Structure 1
């Protein structure tokens, strides 16, 4: 798949399913996870929680040293393709928040339940139609709720949330509200503005460290880094 994507769709970003990657990690590192150590927890942190590449490299080095996996072939192979699974390298890819193939795997499981040796082609297609009908019914139900029911506002007087509540589906709107909540926890420590560049040092409540955010007026581009 990776070779085909590089040839046919060269501008796409090929990512790995995080669920399958963790399952492979348990398979290859299971003997190192005994005794109550936190190898899997630290691996997940590298995968999901770090949004700066330099911090990822530091955390990965600490993981290797702490659990003495310098010569582990699986660890080496996974690190070599880190841009396909680590959050700090995946942030530039447009994924709509999807990091695993869980949705398709769930659909596959529904179909596989009807694929038994004693099931003929007619029985299979009847099962197939039931699965598809169930999915379509759920989709119509969500569409109806989004069109006829008001979204739950955490901040009822916020114009932004009121506007987005009318535009987004309830599921997407809840994701937007979570980001909005994080925005409310931010504060600006420093502000430096010029004709062409605006720079801000930003911090978050109960979060160690700061971010330096720069806005280039000419290119309308935004860059940021940890400080």
Structure 2
């Protein structure tokens, strides 16, 4: 990752992994997989007499409805006392590590929309239909390549559709049209869900302090059992900078402007959002760097960008070998490189990944069979500038993977880094 530690990382509950991450990535925000924890609820608490008579619902309410850490701790304490769970070691262990998995403690950290509460987002989904418990090592390498190729084909098709198909707006809301013009179809659908959700929101102005407006937004949410509940969110709006912060922290965590914020913008007759709310990572015209890296399936994609990229890299490596023998040569080279780079500032790069050919080769080359299977022997402070609206918000807060894959998972990282120079 260019010598930089990841800003956030998601794992299951493993003490050795937790200690290693804290040691190697001390500034990285580590969280546990919430899906794995919630999956254990019936196993650990299913024998409780009130599990299906209020306990399960109370746990979910404390997890998903709490707006502050204090609110979660209050609900958690009431829950433990009401249902007599003070002696439950599993629940006590989770509570002690609540900052690693409870959603309210993870607000403010950008997770790029990654949610570990759904089975489809696990590693198993990547290999569905390609490997099974009897897959050999040779077959695994072949099938991994096929799975990766399939993933690339799906992404290329999605890029093509985003560039050539336009999803119609569901309203006359101008901000929705702003997202329609720049976001991929998949992300625009997420924005539309927030636009639709505005119908169920009721926005009330509570106070005004200078240019900061504070709103209470009541949102009606329907649960899985068709029960409707009303949750209050607080939105802080800076009238001068058109800046906004909501206690749901959807934008900070997923990069999508929430329905509560959109409701406040509509009330204040704001017809266009500042550019900072339009993330580059969701744009349909983004040039993705990894699409030009040569891979084992490039001959199938016929990617012209990859060929050009490989040609430039080879020349750069050859030149780097020559100039690296002298500090003076390196200084001169970097000077010319910066001048050359300045010439391309502001240049819009058009990705070749949006071009999809009609014919896709599904198989190529002779398949080599695996050898006969032989039975084995038994045996963080921040220095960033804090916007005024965030200062007000902060001040108010103060008052299953198969065994075979587990063995050969390292093959994935090695195979992904297969670059030919």
Tell me which interval the TM-score lies in, with the shorter structure as reference length. 0.7 to 0.9
SS of the aligned residue for 2:217 comes to strand
SS of the aligned residue for 1:15 comes to strand
- In the TM superposition, 1:1-12 aligns within 5 A as 1-12=17-28
Structure 2 residue corresponding to 1:198, chosen from 212, 231, 235 = 212
Q: Does 1:105 align with 2:123?
A: yes
Give unmatched runs, 5+ long, in structure 2. 1-16, 221-229, 242-384, 400-421
Q: Which of the pair is proportionally richer in helix?
A: 1
Give unmatched runs, 5+ long, in structure 1. none
CA distance in 2, matches of 1:133, 1:33: 50
- Structure showing greater relative contact order (alpha-carbon pairs closer than 8 Å, 6 or more residues apart): 2
Q: Deviations over 1:135-189 (max 9, x none)?
A: 222112211221111124221x222111211221222222223334455634232
SS of the aligned residue for 1:63 comes to helix
- In the TM superposition, 1:65-214 aligns within 5 A as 65-100=81-116, 102=119, 103-107=121-125, 109-110=127-128, 113-116=131-134, 119-155=135-171, 157-182=172-197, 185-194=201-210, 198-204=212-218, 206=220, 207=230, 209=232, 211=234, 213=236
Q: Deviations over 1:100-119 (max 9, x none)?
A: 17423334653883341xx4
SS of the aligned residue for 2:128 comes to helix
Deviates more, 1:29-38 or 1:169-178: 29-38
Cα displacement (A) at 1:69: 0.4
CA distance in 2, matches of 1:208, 1:23: 25
CA distance in 2, matches of 1:220, 1:47: 28
CA distance in 1, matches of 2:21, 2:51: 41
CA distance in 2, matches of 1:154, 1:26: 40
SS of the aligned residue for 1:37 comes to helix
Q: Alpha carbons of 1:108 and 1:35: their partners in 2 closer, same or farther (altered >3 Å)? A: same
Q: Alpha carbons of 1:40 and 1:158: their partners in 2 closer, same or farther (altered >3 Å)? A: same
CA distance in 2, matches of 1:27, 1:108: 27
Deviates more, 1:132-141 or 1:95-104: 95-104
Larger Rg over CA atoms: 2
Structure 1 residue corresponding to 2:66, chosen from 32, 50, 67 = 50
Q: TM-score, normalised by structure 2?
A: 0.47
Q: Alpha carbons of 1:125 and 1:109: their partners in 2 closer, same or farther (altered >3 Å)? A: closer
Q: Which residue of 2 aligns with 1:36?
A: 52
CA distance in 2, matches of 1:51, 1:183: 19
Q: Deviations over 1:191-224 (max 9, x none)?
A: 4232xx5242323255355637375989523243
Contact 1:46 1:86 in 2 (8 A): no
SS of the aligned residue for 1:70 comes to coil
Q: CA RMSD in A?
A: 3.1
Deviates more, 1:7-16 or 1:124-133: 124-133
Cα displacement (A) at 1:89: 0.8
Q: What is the count of residue pairs matched by the alignment?
A: 222
Contact 2:219 2:232 in 1 (8 A): no
Contact 1:51 1:87 in 2 (8 A): no
Q: Alpha carbons of 1:204 and 1:66: their partners in 2 closer, same or farther (altered >3 Å)? A: same
Q: TM-score, normalised by structure 1?
A: 0.81
